[in-house]
A = this chain, B = another copy of it.
Amino acid sequence: MADNVVEQDNGSRLQRSIISRPTMADVARLSGFSAMTVSRALKDGASVSAKTRERILEVIEEIGYVPDLSAGGLSSKRSGFVTALVPTINNSNFSDTACGLTDALSKRGLQLLLGYTDYSAAREEELVAAMLRRRPEGMILTGGFHTPRARHLLDSAAIPIIETWDLPDNPIDQVVGFSNAEAIGAMVRDLTARGYRNIGFIGGSSKRDTRGADRRAGYEAAMAELGLGEGHVITFGTPPISMEQGGQAIVQMIGQWPEVDAVICVSDLSAFGAIMECHRRGWAVPGRIAVAGFGDFEVSRCCWPSITTVTVNSYDIGRQAGELLLATLDKIRSGAEIRPATQKIDFKVVVREST
C-alpha cells in the first residue's frame, strides 16, 4: 500500500504565527490592570468588580489569550489533573471505568490523564515515573501488582493513590474493587446448582493479567471446595485476551476432556470466541457444552446464544474511585485524618442462554 500524498494550498498557518502567544502580562497591559487582577478575573470566587472583569474578558477574547496551566500550577502547586493507568483502553470495562472517573473528577475541575500499561508491570512502572513528573494530584491504578520501583515511586509521591478492580493483599493506600476469585467462585456455584458437574476453565497462560490469574485461582478453589475434583484448565497466550484464543481453547478442551459439560472463560471475549467456534463445529451451546464468561461486554448481551457472565459495574468503579480521590484531597487540605479504606464493589452472576 503506497501512500498517496496530495499537496494542499491553504497557506501555511504555522509559519504565519511564529510570534509567541499572548501572556497574562499582555492582557494586563492592554486592559490597564495588573496581571494579578487579570489572574483574579479568571478565577471565580475572587473579588474583582464586575466592570473590571468584563473589560478584562473583552481583552482576552480580542487577543485570544489562553492561560498557561503549567505556569499556574507551578505557582499554585496544583496541577489540576489526575492520572489513571489501565491495562488497555480497548476494553469496555476499563473505558467505562475511565468514563466514571472523568465524570466524578470533572465536577471539581480536575482533568483525567489516561495511560495504558498493556498489561505490563514494567510499562506501568515507566508510566508511573513519567506521570509523576507532571505532578498529578492523585493516581488511580488498575490492580494491586506493581514493580518494587513503581511502588517506591508511588510511596514517596505524597499524593492519594487508589487501586481498583482488585482487592490487593497489601494495598498502597485506598482501594475500590472486588475479589475476582470470589466472583468466579460464584459462577462455579451457579453452574453447579444448574446441574453441571464437569466444569472447565479457559484463561491466559501468563501472570501478566493478574485479575485473570485470580479468576483461575478462584475457579480452582471453588472446585475443590465443592468436591468437583481438580478441574480442567486450558490456557492460551498472553493478554490482551482475544476472541480467537477462546475458539482455539475450547477445541482443545473438548479434545482433551470430552466429558466437560460447562466451561468458564476468563473473559466474555474468549467466551464469545469459544461459542462461535462451537457453532462452526456444530456443537450446541449449551446442549453439548455450556459456556460462561466474565465482564458483561456488549457482545455477550447481543450474541446468540447470549452469554452467561459476571457483571461488575465498571463505570461505578471509576465514579467511586474518583469521588474517593476527591474526598481524600479534601481531607489532605483540611488536615483531617486520612484512613485508608477498601470500598468493595458488588458483582453478580447474570444467567443467559449460553448456560
Chain A residues proximal to chain B, CB less than 8 Å: 1, 3-8, 10, 12-15, 17-19, 21, 64, 66-71, 73-74, 79, 88-92, 95-96, 98, 111, 113-114, 129-130, 132-135, 152-153, 155-160, 170-173, 242-244, 247, 269, 272-273, 276, 279-280, 298-299, 301-304, 313, 320, 328, 332, 337-346
Residue of B with least CB distance to A127: B111
By beta carbon, the residue of chain B nearest A81 is B134
Task: Name 25 interchain pairs, CB-CB below 8 A, sorted by A.
Answer: A1-B313, A3-B344, A3-B345, A5-B341, A5-B344, A7-B340, A8-B339, A8-B340, A10-B340, A13-B155, A14-B159, A18-B158, A21-B156, A21-B157, A64-B153, A64-B156, A68-B135, A70-B70, A90-B92, A90-B95, A114-B114, A244-B298, A244-B301, A244-B302, A279-B304
Partner of A130, one of B98, B111, B344: B111
Q: Report the bound CA distance from A159 to B66 in whole Å.
A: 14
**B4, A343: Cβ atoms under 8 Å?**
yes
B contact residues around A276 at 8 Å (CB): 302-304
In angstroms, Cα B191 to Cα A298, docked, is 29
| Smallest Cβ-Cβ distance to A8: which chain B residue | B340
Measured CB to CB, the nearest residue on chain B to A320 is B3
Minimum C-beta distance from A313 to chain B (A) = 8
Q: A114 vs B111: C-alpha distance in the bound complex, in angstroms? A: 11
A272 contacts B6, C-beta separation under 8 Å? no
Known: A3-B343, A4-B343, A279-B304. 19 other contacts (CB 8 A): A3-B320, A3-B346, A6-B342, A6-B344, A8-B340, A12-B338, A12-B339, A13-B172, A13-B173, A14-B159, A14-B173, A14-B332, A14-B338, A64-B153, A68-B135, A70-B70, A74-B74, A114-B114, A243-B299
Contact B15 A338 (CB under 8 A): yes
User: Which residue of chain B has its CB nearest to the CB of A126?
Assistant: B106
When C-beta atoms are compared, the residue in chain B nearest to A10 turns out to be: B340
Indicate if the CB atoms of B79 and A89 lie closer than 8 Å: no
Contact residues in B for A129 (Cβ distance below 8 Å): 66
**Chain B residues within an 8 Å CB radius of A304:** 276, 279-280
> Cα distance A157–B66 when bound, in Å?
9
Closest beta carbon of chain B to A159's beta carbon, Å: 8
